[in-house]
């Protein structure tokens, strides 16, 4: 028996550590029942709910291999645990106020506790505009009153979080309905056992502070998923900002000492407890994109849920993922496992978390892959990790090919497909930045059939923040050096000297690399039409441009397909000239954005039709971060789905958080029977 079980491999072992599960209705009921022995107890759970992955220290998953090992069950809890009829039978984190973890309220700096009881002390501080670091399942959140402009501004300032939107937690579905009109799919996502943050279009009348989300009407909303959250929200009685506790883009805090160190100066107090977090696991993020629930970040609640592969891999593979929004993936036999969301691999702390999470997932799966898949970009920390680690084989995978194969894998399609991969950037075989790609894709190879005419980025990465540079290059190219720069409001905000430097860079082709990413067109058009010279974070102006579009049908601008280049390029210069003309004639940004989106949809559909006219009716995969844009995604789908099978992402993120799966399958297919 033992032998057979062993050979069944990693799949079964991983299943023995499930993802974390949101508090079930019965446990929630007990927590609010004054007669129940768990009344007010923040660590209540049962076999249907509670922490799992985030408390597991080893396999197999039993109490001794979790951070609950140090708590001796009392006789009542023990009885429940051993009674096969009880709903807490073998609930590994089972606990009660007598024997289990306890809350503690710790003030930082000059703050004082006005109450003795930790939950009340936290609620009182929150209601008076304070910031509290709250220890959750996979890490700390920073909490404050979501209706208080002052509290949110203070948090933004202390956290140095530019202008990125903050997620908010509301008490229940009814409270979520007050903030936004919910579709049935959105309700299902919000109340699902995984409890992701769900992006919703907020009602203007929602009563929330405008500082929550300065650029977009979309708000990240989620429901309580631990008894601690339920109790806290119950006491505060209003929506709370609950944002991952970190500074800038470092990994989420998980230990009490670490929180005290890293969050002093940000939080006024901490609401902590003595159940340790074994594995950091940030919140997942989802959105319904034209009717389809789509994960944008796959982490808490989903990790380490296995994904079945239609074609098993021949050897265990670790795929190291991309650079931004990094997640890695381990594929074994017929199953793939994503690790938790690591974030942007830009700091030592993030790389350490990446390594720690890889080690942990390997331990859980009892596997140490000898084959490593990585991005082609030589400077990515994920690439450097792969190159430094001892391995039998390493396979460099093109970024957009990986995006497409991730979409194929999610649908069990072995190829070939026409992959349409639109994003901000990804390293191309020619060393250029790609991101407007039409790829005939197989698991082991691809052919680049078309792309977008590139925009040059004067100053390289500087242009990501100073997006006016991208706009400058766009109009300069479209008007062949005779652009009406002086007439465009955008450039009023830029000094003549800075403009001169950029003009020189473009003219002499100095530090002005060409980028094919569709995301750069969003930056450039958004900067121009909204007169916004800078992005305070990656994609800020692009997002503002996405949501700027007026609803309804719009006429596309003109565009061309330039077949004199290899591969052919979608040339939007006619569209740029029309849009600039409209802008100067006083057209509204809403109309220009609507027509811009219509142009992208039309160009994508025309090129797809042309390519598939030649190749035959292959399935079409829509992938890459730009396809999180619902106008574009639904527009392209509407044009194609009657003729072709359209593959869209659901549980694998369309953005860079999803590419590790494709990397793993490409590496395996590439090696074939070798290696």
Non-local CB neighbours of 451 within 8 Å, separated by 6+ positions: 434, 436, 437, 438, 516, 567, 568, 569, 570
User: Is residue 276 a contact residue for Fe ion (CB under 5 A)?
Assistant: no
Identify the residue among 27, 131, 583, 626 touching Zn ion (CB under 5 A): 27
User: Is residue 21 a contact residue for Zn ion (CB under 5 A)?
Assistant: no
User: Is residue 211 a contact residue for Fe ion (CB under 5 A)?
Assistant: no
Q: How far is the CB of 319 from Fe ion (least distance, A)?
A: 14
User: Is residue 55 a contact residue for Zn ion (CB under 5 A)?
Assistant: no
358's contact among Fe ion, Zn ion, none, with CB below 5 to 8 A by partner kind, is: none
Angle at the Cα of 546 (from 543 to 550), degrees rounded to 5? 140
250 versus 423: smaller Cβ distance to Fe ion: 423
State how beta strands 168-169 and 218-222 pair.
parallel
User: Is residue 538 a contact residue for Fe ion (CB under 5 A)?
Assistant: no
User: Is residue 22 a contact residue for Zn ion (CB under 5 A)?
Assistant: no
Q: How far is the CB of 37 from Zn ion (least distance, A)?
A: 8
Binding mask 600-639 for Zn ion (x = CB under 5 A): ----------------------------------------
Identify the residue among 28, 194, 283, 423 touching Fe ion (CB under 5 A): 423
Q: How far apart are CA 163 and CA 20, in angstroms?
A: 30
Q: How far is the CB of 673 from Zn ion (least distance, A)?
A: 48
Q: How many residues bind Zn ion (CB under 5 A)?
A: 10
Among the residue ranges 17-25, 146-154, 218-226, 420-428, the one whose residues contact Fe ion (CB under 5 A): 420-428
Q: With 0-12 CB in 10 A as exposed, 13-18 as middle and 19+ as buried, what is 505?
A: buried
The length of the chain, given as a count of residues: 675
Q: With 0-12 CB in 10 A as exposed, 13-18 as middle and 19+ as buried, what is 576?
A: buried
Eight-state DSSP code of residue 171: S
Q: How many residues bind Fe ion (CB under 5 A)?
A: 3
Among the residue ranges 16-24, 309-317, 520-528, 609-617, the one whose residues contact Zn ion (CB under 5 A): 16-24
- Give the dihedral of Cα atoms 184, 185, 187, 191; nearest 10 deg: 140
Identify the residue among 37, 98, 558, 641 touching Zn ion (CB under 5 A): 98
* CA 596, chain centre distance (Å): 25
- By the 8 A CB rule, do 124 and 236 touch? no
Within 10 A of 511 (CB to CB), how many other CB atoms are there?
A: 13
423's contact among Fe ion, Zn ion, none, with CB below 5 to 8 A by partner kind, is: Fe ion
506 versus 621: smaller Cβ distance to Fe ion: 621
Interactions with Fe ion, residue window 636-675 (CB under 5 A)? 656
Give percent helix, percent strand, percent coil of the chain, each to the nearest 5: 40, 20, 45
Identify the residue among 24, 56, 103, 221 touching Zn ion (CB under 5 A): 24
Among the residue ranges 66-74, 315-323, 433-441, 550-558, the one whose residues contact Zn ion (CB under 5 A): 66-74
User: Is residue 375 a contact residue for Fe ion (CB under 5 A)?
Assistant: no
C-alpha dihedral sign at 410, 412, 414, 418: negative
Q: How many CA atoms lie within 13 A of 642 on its CB side?
A: 4
Q: How far apart are CA 447 and CA 451, in angstroms?
A: 11
User: Is residue 77 a contact residue for Zn ion (CB under 5 A)?
Assistant: yes
Which residues of the shown chain bind Zn ion in the complex (CB under 5 A)?
Answer: 24, 27, 46, 48-49, 74, 77, 96, 98-99
Which residues of the shown chain bind Fe ion in the complex (CB under 5 A)?
Answer: 423, 426, 656
């Amino acid at each position: 028996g033992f032998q057979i079980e062993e050979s069944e491999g990693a799949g079964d072992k991983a299943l023995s550590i499930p993802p974390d599960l949101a508090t079930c209705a019965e446990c929630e009921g007990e927590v609010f029942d004054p007669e129940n022995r768990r009344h007010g107890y923040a660590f209540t759970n049962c076999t249907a709910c509670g922490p799992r992955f985030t408390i597991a220290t080893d396999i197999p998953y039993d109490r001794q291999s979790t951070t609950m090992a140090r708590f001796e069950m009392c006789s009542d809890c023990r009885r429940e645990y051993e009674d096969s009829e009880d709903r807490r039978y073998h609930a590994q984190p089972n606990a009660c106020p007598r024997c289990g973890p306890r809350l503690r309220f710790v003030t930082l700096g000059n703050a004082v506790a006005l109450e003795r009881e930790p939950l009340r002390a936290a609620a009182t501080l929150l209601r008076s505009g304070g910031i509290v670091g709250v220890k959750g399942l996979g890490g700390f959140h920073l909490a404050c009153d979501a209706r208080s402009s002052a509290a949110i501004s203070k948090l933004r300032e202390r956290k140095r979080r530019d202008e990125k939107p903050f997620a908010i937690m509301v008490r229940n579905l009814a409270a979520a309905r007050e903030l936004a009109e919910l579709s049935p799919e959105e309700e299902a996502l919000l109340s699902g056992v995984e409890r992701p943050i769900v992006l919703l279009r907020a009602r203007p009348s929602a009563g929330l502070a405008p500082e929550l989300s300065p650029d977009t009407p979309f708000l990240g909303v989620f429901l309580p998923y631990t008894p601690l959250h339920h109790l806290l929200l119950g006491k505060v009685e209003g929506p709370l900002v609950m944002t991952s506790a970190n500074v800038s883009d470092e990994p989420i805090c998980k230990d009490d000492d670490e929180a005290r160190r890293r969050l002093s100066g940000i939080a006024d107090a901490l609401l902590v407890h003595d159940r340790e977090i074994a594995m950091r696991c940030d919140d997942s993020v989802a959105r319904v994109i034209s009717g389809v629930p789509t994960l944008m970040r796959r982490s808490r609640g989903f990790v380490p849920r296995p994904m079945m592969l239609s074609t098993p891999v021949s050897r265990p593979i670790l795929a190291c993922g991309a650079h931004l929004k990094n997640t890695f993936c381990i594929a074994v036999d017929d199953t793939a496992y994503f690790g938790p969301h690591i974030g942007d691999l830009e700091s030592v702390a993030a790389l350490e978390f990446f390594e720690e999470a890889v080690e942990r997932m390997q331990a859980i799966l009892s596997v140490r892959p000898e084959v490593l898949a990585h991005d082609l970009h030589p400077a990515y920390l994920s690439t450097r990790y792969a190159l430094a680690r001892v391995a039998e084989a390493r396979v460099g995978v093109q970024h957009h090919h990986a995006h497409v194969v991730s979409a194929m894998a999610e649908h069990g399609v072995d190829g070939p497909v026409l992959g349409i991969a639109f994003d901000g950037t990804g390293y191309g075989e020619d060393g250029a930045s790609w991101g407007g790609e039409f790829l005939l894709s197989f698991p082991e190879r691809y052919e680049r059939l078309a792309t977008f005419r590139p925009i040059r980025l004067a100053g390289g990465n500087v242009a990501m923040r100073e997006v006016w540079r991208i706009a400058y290059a766009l109009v300069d190219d479209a008007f062949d050096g005779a652009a009406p720069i002086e007439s465009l409001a955008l450039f009023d905000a830029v000094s003549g000297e800075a403009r001169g430097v950029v003009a020189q860079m473009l003219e002499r082709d100095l530090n002005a690399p060409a980028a094919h990413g569709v995301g750069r067109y969003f930056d450039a058009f958004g900067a121009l039409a909204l007169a916004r010279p800078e992005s305070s974070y990656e994609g800020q102006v692009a997002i503002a441009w996405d949501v700027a579009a007026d609803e309804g049908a719009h006429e596309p601008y003109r565009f061309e397909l330039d077949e004199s280049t290899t591969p052919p390029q979608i040339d939007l210069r006619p569209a740029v000239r029309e849009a600039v003309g409209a802008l100067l004639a006083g057209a509204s940004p809403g109309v220009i954005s609507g027509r811009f989106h219509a142009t992208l949809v039309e160009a994508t559909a025309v090129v797809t039709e042309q390519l598939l006219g030649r190749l035959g009716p292959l399935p079409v995969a829509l992938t890459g971060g730009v396809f999180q844009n619902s106008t574009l995604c639904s527009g392209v789908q509407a044009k194609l789905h009657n003729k072709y099978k359209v593959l869209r992402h659901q549980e694998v993120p369309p953005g860079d958080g999803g590419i590790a799966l494709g990397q793993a399958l490409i590496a395996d297919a590439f090696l074939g029977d070798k290696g």
